[in-house]
Amino acid sequence: MSTLLIKGCTAILTGNRETPRSTGTDIRVADGRIAAIGTLTPNADERVIDARDCVAYPGWVNTHHHLFQSLLKGEPQGLNQSLSAWLASTPYRFRGAFDAETFRLAARIGLVELVRSGCTTVADHHYLYWPGMPFDGAAILFEEAQALGVRFVLCRGGATQTRGLESALPTALRPERFDDWMQDVERLAGQFHQPQADAMRRVVMAPTTTLHSTTAQELRESARLARALGLRLHSHLSETVDYLDASRAKFGMTPLQFCAEQDWIGDDVWFAHLVKLQPEEIALLGASGSGIAHCPQSNARLGSGIADIVALEQAGVKISIGVDGAASNEAADMQSETHAAWQLQRARKGMLARPRYDGGTFEGGGDAATIEDVIRWGTSGGAAVLGLDTGELRPGMPADIALYQLDDPRYFGLHDVAIGPVACGGRATLKALLCQGKVIVENDVIAGLDLRELGAQAAEAVKRLQQRAG
Nearest to 321 by CA among 301, 348, 298, 349: 298
Q: Are 290 and 271 in contact (CB under 8 A)?
A: yes
Q: Lowest-confidence range among 155-169, 202-216, 317-331, 450-464?
A: 155-169
pLDDT band at 297 (very low <50, low <70, confident <90, very high): very high
- Taking the domains of the chain in order of start, what are their residue ranges? 3-59+390-446, 63-377
Nearest to 26 by CA among 450, 403, 304, 409: 403
Task: Tell me which architecture the domain covering 63-377 has in CATH.
Answer: Alpha-Beta Barrel (3.20)
pLDDT attached to residue 173 = 79
Domain covering 3-59+390-446: architecture: Roll (2.30)
Residue 167 pLDDT exceeds 60: no
Q: If pLDDT is split at 50, 70 and 90, which confidence band does 351 have?
A: confident
Rounded alpha-carbon distances, angstroms, from residue 362 to 231, 345, 356, 369: 48, 18, 6, 18
Render pLDDT for 18-55 as a digit per residue (tens, 0 to 9). Answer: 999 999 999 999 999 999 999 999 999 999 999 999 99
Percent above pLDDT 70 for the chain:
96
Q: What is the pTM of this model?
A: 0.96
Q: 307 CB contacts (<8 Å, ≥6 apart)?
A: 273, 274, 275, 277, 292, 294, 296, 299
pLDDT at residue 256 tops 90: yes
Contact of 231 with 182, CB cutoff 8 Å = no
pLDDT tens track for 151-165: 999 999 999 987 554
